[in-house]
Every structure is written in structure tokens, then in C-alpha cells.
Amino acid sequence: MLNYLWGFMILLGLGAGIVTGQVEAVSNASIDSAGEAVTMAITMLGIMSMWTGLIEVARQAGLMDRMTRGLRPVLAFLFPRIPRHHPVQEYLTANILANILGLGWAATPMGLKAMMELAPLERERLASEMSRREGRQMDPDEIRLTKASDEMCTFLVLNISSLQVIPVSVIAYRAQYGAVNPAAIVVPGLIATTVSTAVAVIFCRILCRRGERE
């Protein structure tokens, strides 16, 4: 869908340039934007590499385990069916912290790892339910997931709402494009993301409890 959307926007821009006689300006803007995209990608790659490296250092130093214990009440509320000491807790913690700091790109690797860990958990849960229902032991590896689990959906919605205390990525964008006060976005962003995250949490808990009753 996004491919069609971007293709339509490109064709629309080219058409507007042809109609208004600004084809040369469109061509120059395309070349300049391509250069800016490469520069921004390198900048974001550096930020993401630094953050993932710090996360790995923190994990090996035991800091991630401490932060996970600190966030355990929050994680237990949001993901009540995840075992208390499961490794996915660290990935969830790293992803949440990266989003709080506004490092959306850096949060992506931890988010992908969390999703990869949540899939076997859901297969084990389904295998346990089917074993009780059918009276025979089911192998979790034989279970094929056809839909996302409640934990996966909750995690995805939280990433979309994304509480941000310090939106580092947005500040970096604003600084690169010459904003007078790049950090002016902090307070409005904090208010907006606090509201969006609160709504997301309430929404997820209501739907999860409804699903448990059904």
C-alpha cells in the first residue's frame, strides 16, 4: 500500500512540475533530497549503532537486568501472561526505554527481537490449551500461528503510541534542517505522547480482558 502511495505522490509532483513549468526545479529538488536522505540515513545509522551498542554493554554489565526489575510491575500489568523471568522482558525493556528517549530507529532491533521471542511463547500457550482440550500432548513446534497474540498486539500499539520524554530523533531532524530551537518540541511531544500512550494502554487492557472472558 505504501508503495502505491509513494508512487502516486511522486507522479503527482512530476505532473505538477510539468503543468507549472517547474520541471527543472523538481529535478533539482529530487537530487538535493536524495543527498539529504543519504546524510540523514548515515546520521540515524550512527545513533542506532551507538544505542544498540550501549544496550549490549548494559546487558553484559547486568544493568539491563536491573532496569528490567525496575520496570517489572509495568511489564506485568501490560503483559500479564509473560513469565516473570523470561528473556523477552529485557528486549521489551530496551524497546520501551529507546522509545521513551525518542530513538525510534534504535528501538526497532529490540522490538523485532521481542516479537521473535513472543511467537514461541504464544505457540507454547496454544499447545497447552490444545493438549488439555484434546487429551494428548501437543508439540509447540507443530503449532502454526494464524494471528498475533494479545502480547504482540499490545506491544505493537505501545510502539505506535510511543511515550517520548526526550525525542532525540526529532531534535536531530530539526537541528539538521536549521531549526532555531530544535528542543522546542520536547514539551508538546511529551504531552501528546503521554495522552496517546495512556489511551493505548486503556484500549489494550479493555480488549485483552474482553478476549479472556470470551
In angstroms, the CA 187 to CA 199 distance is 19
Q: 67 is in which domain, residue-wise?
A: 28-213
Q: Is 144 domain-assigned?
A: yes
CB 157 within 8 A of CB 203: yes
- Average pLDDT score over residue span 83-98: 84
Per-residue model confidence as pLDDT tens digits over 145-175: 778 888 888 898 888 887 787 777 777 778 7
What was the pLDDT predicted at 1? Answer: 64
What are the angstrom distances between the C-alpha of 178 and each of 45, 104, 171, 172, 183?
20, 21, 11, 10, 12
Give Cα 95 distance to the centre of its chain: 7
Question: In this structure, are residues 169 and 44 in contact, taking their beta carbons and an 8 Å threshold?
Answer: yes
Nearest one of 95, 211, 104 to 155, comparing CA atoms: 95
pLDDT > 70: percent of the chain: 95
Could you tell me if residue 18 is inside a domain? no
Give the chain's domain count.
Answer: 1
pLDDT classification of 34: cutoffs 50, 70, 90: confident
More confident residue, 73 or 138: 73
Is 123 within a domain?
yes
Q: Is residue 186 part of a domain?
A: yes
Q: Which pLDDT band holds residue 43 (cuts at 50, 70, 90)?
A: confident
> What does the alpha-carbon distance between residue 111 and residue 162 come to, in Å, rounded to a whole number?
12
Please state whether 47 falls in left (phi above 0), alpha (psi between -120 and 50) or beta.
Answer: alpha
Could you tell me how far CA 58 lies from the centroid of its own chain?
A: 20
Question: Which range, of 74-83, 94-103, 132-141, averages the lowest pLDDT?
Answer: 132-141
Tell which residue, 71, 97, 102, has the closest CA to residue 84.
71
Is residue 3, in this structure, part of any structural domain at all?
Answer: no
Query: Which pLDDT does position 58 carry in this prediction?
Result: 76
Confidence label for 73 from pLDDT (cuts 50, 70 and 90): confident
11 pLDDT tier (thresholds 50, 70, 90): confident
- Mean of per-residue pLDDT scores for the chain: 80
Examine residue 13 and state whether it is found in any structural domain, yes or no.
no
Q: For residue 212, what pLDDT band results from cuts at 50, 70 and 90?
A: low
**Does the residue 167 lie in any domain?**
yes
Read off φ and ψ for residue 178, nearest 5 degrees: 80, 25
170 in any annotated domain? yes
